[in-house]
Structures are given as structure tokens and as C-alpha cells.
Amino acid sequence: MPDRPPPILRGAGDASPARHPALVLLALAMGGFAIGTTEFAAMSLLPAFAPDLGIDAATASHVISAYALGVVIGAPIIAVLAARIARRRLLVGLMVLFALGNGLSALAPDYPAMLVFRFLAGLPHGAYFGVAALVAASLVPVERRAQAVARVLTGLTVATIIGVPLANVIGQVAGWRWSFGLVAGLALLTAVLVRWFAPLGRPASGASALRELGALRRGQVWLTLATGAIGFGGLFAVYTYLASTLLTVTGVGPGTVPFVLGLFGLGLTIGNLVCAWAADRAQMPAAGLTLAASAAALALYPAATGNLWTLALVVFLIGCGGGLSTILQTRLMDVAEDAQTLAAALNHSAFNVANALGPWLSGLALAHGYGLPATGWVGTALALGGLAIWALSCALDRGGRPLVGAAAE
């Protein structure tokens, strides 16, 4: 029989379907834009707020870690505790909490307060993307759900092209506090737009915290999360040290760095859309191909670092590998069956694990004297590790056939 989605993917229990799906997706993408802006811009604002808070750059980096820790912890806890809350109400609440965390960050009087406020801002990150992905998927036929999810995540990828440079300009002109204030304003705008346009999205019959925790009993959920946590780490292994590589290895001036970072963001955006299109047609093959292509691009990175033009091209290709996020998000919708909120939120916890793992392993390579180009080899190893986990998932999953109809059969 033809594959069909579990009822929960189609907004089961929702008595108020969206009249304007495109506006719903735009509203959800606005939240992704706000989150992407603060997540990536905070890294480049370190030199600005570190002296203002009376700390050095190394200590200031803990602020970034506090946000990531908030994402990892907040995603599963919120997803489980909010199992019986209507999705629209949950999304609005998450954006209000996100606005509060960033607004307080803009007002932080000292370093300890900044740590607490960035942790607070990170708490709704994973749960927002997870729930937003489920809402987006419920608006369209099953054969287009990955593309709907991609439109939500496009907000995050576009943030790397527009939002981050804008936040940096504001930080340089008006001060770093206004950059966090901008994000708080975007979050409040998202809350208003979601309240206006999104369907209520009542929880499915029988939804509970215990049922959400049932996702953790499914091996394919863990394999999908591990694929992202390991495989996506390759991208971060290179991206974290890209600016330093450009300045000290490639030998370009500081003014060239934003151009190359912008190419990375462009690749991330295009890869997100292309991978979503592929995932709607052949989900698991698309994931495997993306990981293999990422490994190849990362393997080219060490040889490309000596020339700006070859490096720019390779960085663009590495960015394209970011489309893996959309594929794995829809994969979790299939394998989590009736515990999708927790699984969808955990996807972003997994990617923040990748965000920590990749730079840490690259740092070890640098500490052992291998040089900045070697971060590409670290990234290649991680991408191949993700590919190995993907292969195991396929082998255990009846030859790799998607489980789209598992919960309904």
C-alpha cells in the first residue's frame, strides 16, 4: 500500500486549519531568522562585549557555551512538559521566552548575569524549531513536507547572510547591546505573527509527557540523532576556524572575511532547499548523498586554503552540506511515530552537540601542531562517521525504506 503519514503529521486534533499556509511559514521562518541571528552574531560580538563586561575573550566564549547548553537542555525538557499544550500557544510562549532572554542579555550588568541570560535565551531554541517543523509539515501534503520544513529553516540560513552582518553593523555603530535588542524585537514580532496566522494545533488525543518519552525507546530515533551529532560536526570543525584560516593561511585582509562567510551562508541556504527537495523524493538516499558530498568537500579544504578563490568555492560547498538538518528533521517525523515533539526538538540538541564536538576535535588537532588546514581532515572524519551511522540505520530499517506509515498501519 502507498506510504501515508501518521495522523499527527497532518495536524490531528486541530479544528482551526491555516487559511494562509504561506503566511504561517513566513511567520515561523521569522523566528528562525531571529534565532539564527543571535546564535551566529554572538560569536562575532565577543570582542565587543568582553571588555565591556570586564573579561577576556577566552572567558567571554563561555557565554556562547551557555547558550548552547540552554539549547541542549531546554529542547527535551520543554518538549516533554509541553506535550499537552496547543502548538500555536507553545510557539508564542517560546518566542516570548526567547525575547526575554535576549532583552535581558542586552541589559546584562556583568559577566555572571550574561551567562544566566544567554542560557535562558537558549532554552526555547530547540523546542521552537522542533514544534515549528511539525506545524509546517501539517500544512502541506506528505510529499512536500520536507520543503515546508526547509522554508522554516531558511529563516536561520538567511540569518547567516543578512541577520548576522546587520547585527554586527548595529553592534559597531550603536553598541553590542542593541544587537541583542534587535533579536528581542524580532522574537516579539514572530510571536505576534504566529498568533495571527498559525492554526491552533491542538495536541493529538492521548498526548502526554510519558508518550513523548517513548521516542527514547526507538533505536532509529537515536541513530538519526547520532547521524546529525557526528556528521554535522564536520561543518562546525571547519567553520569555527574559518576566519583564522583566511587571515593567517590564505593571507587575506579582514575585509575579505565577511565575503567568504557570506558564501558559506549562501551555500547553507541553497543546500537547505535542494536537500529538502531531494528528501521529499528519496529521504534516506538524500541523507547519504549529502553526507558523502560533505565529506568530499571537507577533504578538499586543506588543499584549498592557500588560494582565496578555491577556498571560497570549497567553503560554499561545505555550506551546502547544512541541508542535512532538514532531511534528518523529516526522518525523525517518520521514526518517532506518536512521540514527535520530543524527537523533533532533540534534533536541534544533536546539532548543538555537533557544534561543540567539531570545534573541540579541531582544537585538539591544532594543539598537536597540525595547523589550521587540518581542520578539514577533522571535518572529513566526522562526516564519514555520520555516513557510517547512516549506513547502519539503513541496514536496520528494512533496507532503508522510510517508516512514513508505521504509526498508522
Query: Where do the structural domains in the chain lie, given as residue ranges?
Result: 17-207, 213-398
Percent of the residues in the chain that have a pLDDT greater than 70, as a whole number:
87
- The pLDDT of residue 5: 43
What is d(CA 79, CA 127) in angstroms, rounded to the nearest whole number? Answer: 6
The one-letter amino acid code at 250 reads: T
- The pLDDT of residue 401: 45
What is d(CA 220, CA 212) in angstroms, rounded to the nearest whole number? Answer: 15
Q: How many CA atoms lie within 13 A of 208 on its CB side?
A: 4
- The pLDDT of residue 201: 67
Considering the segment(s) 17-207 as one domain, its CATH architecture is Up-down Bundle (1.20)
Give the length of the chain. Answer: 409
- The pLDDT of residue 407: 34
What is d(CA 332, CA 324) in angstroms, rounded to the nearest whole number? Answer: 12
Segments in 280-307 forming alpha helices (H): 283-304
- The pLDDT of residue 18: 54
- The pLDDT of residue 400: 45
User: Which residues lie below 8 Å from residue 47, measured CB to CB, with a gap of 6+?
Assistant: 57
What 8-state DSSP symbol labels residue 140?
A: S
Cα dist. 282→252, 301, 404 in Å? 41, 28, 12
pLDDT tens across 369-403, in order? 888 899 999 999 999 999 999 999 988 876 544 44
SS3 at position 262? helix
Q: Which three cell numbers stand for residue 76?
A: 527535551
Q: Which three cell numbers stand for residue 394?
A: 539503513
- CB of 273 within 8 A of CB of 165? no
Per DSSP, the chain holds a count of helices (H) and strands (E) of: 18, 0
What is d(CA 354, CA 349) in angstroms, rounded to the nearest whole number? Answer: 9
pLDDT tens across 114-147, in order? 999 999 999 999 889 888 888 888 888 888 888 8
> Does 17-207 match 213-398 in CATH topology?
yes
- How many CB atoms are closer than 10 A to CB 266? 18
Q: How many CA atoms lie within 13 A of 85 on its CB side?
A: 16
What is d(CA 51, CA 237) in angstroms, rounded to the nearest whole number? Answer: 27
pLDDT tens across 316-333, in order? 999 999 889 889 988 888
- The pLDDT of residue 113: 93
- The pLDDT of residue 204: 63
Q: How many CA atoms lie within 13 A of 249 on its CB side?
A: 21
Nearest to 229 by CA among 117, 356, 330, 118: 356
User: Which residues lie below 8 Å from residue 153, measured CB to CB, with a gap of 6+?
Assistant: 29, 32, 129, 133, 272, 325, 326, 329
Average pLDDT, the chain: 83
Considering the segment(s) 213-398 as one domain, its CATH architecture is Up-down Bundle (1.20)
What is d(CA 46, CA 107) in angstroms, rounded to the nearest whole number? Answer: 16
Query: Within the chain, which residues score under 50 in pLDDT?
Result: 1-16, 400-409
Q: Which three cell numbers stand for residue 69?
A: 547548553
What is d(CA 295, CA 274) in angstroms, rounded to the nearest whole number? Answer: 18
- CB of 234 within 8 A of CB of 288? no
In the block, which residue shows the cell 541571528?
37
What is d(CA 211, CA 121) in angstroms, rounded to the nearest whole number? Answer: 27
- The pLDDT of residue 9: 42
What is d(CA 329, CA 348) in angstroms, rounded to the nearest whole number? Answer: 9
